[in-house]
């Protein structure tokens, strides 16, 4: 998988817990019996996912992960995403390519965390430039 960076949206409380533990833990996926994954997104999708999935959030931290520092299996999966993590929402899901980081990620893999807020138009706006 040839990707520059992974992005994980977290709220302040989630980040405080992760930073105090020294790692980002996976959460059990709904319906999964054995796999535990951290869901991350690529730069091409992060803005769209933020504006679809995190409808109820105004302030988030965008955790930027260096894939080279990730020492767990990485899998790209097509997955249905629901707004606000509500699988029984009245809003239909959308299918996105989600990066599954399959295990604990050390805080050392975090290269930056950026606070993001909704703009006046009610949307998150993320501009990411990549340099080849």
pLDDT in tens, 80-122: 888 865 655 556 888 999 999 999 999 999 999 999 999 999 9
| Best CATH choice for the domain 6-116 from the list 1.10.3470.10, 1.20.120.80, 3.20.170.20, 3.40.50.300 | 3.20.170.20
Give domain limits for the chain.
6-116
103: tokens are 């295990």
Task: Write the pLDDT tens digit of every residue in 15-64.
Answer: 999 999 999 988 744 444 455 889 999 999 999 999 999 888 888 999 99
Q: Where are the beta strands (DSSP E) in the chain?
A: 6-10, 23-24, 27-28, 36-40, 59-65, 74-81, 94-101, 105-106, 110-117
Residue 20's pLDDT is 94
Global pTM?
Answer: 0.85
């Amino acid at each position: 998988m040839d990707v520059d960076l992974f992005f994980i949206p977290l709220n302040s409380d989630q980040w405080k817990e992760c930073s105090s533990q020294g790692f980002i833990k996976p959460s059990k996926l709904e319906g999964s019996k054995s796999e535990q994954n951290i869901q991350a997104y690529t730069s091409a999708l992060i803005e769209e996912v933020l504006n679809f999935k995190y409808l109820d959030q105004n302030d988030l931290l965008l955790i930027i992960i260096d894939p080279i520092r990730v020492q767990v299996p990485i899998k790209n999966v097509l997955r249905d995403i629901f707004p606000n993590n509500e699988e029984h929402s009245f809003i239909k899901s959308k299918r996105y390519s989600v990066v599954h980081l399959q295990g604990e990620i050390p805080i050392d893999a975090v290269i930056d965390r950026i606070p993001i807020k909704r703009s006046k138009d009610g949307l998150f706006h993320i501009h990411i430039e990549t340099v080849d």
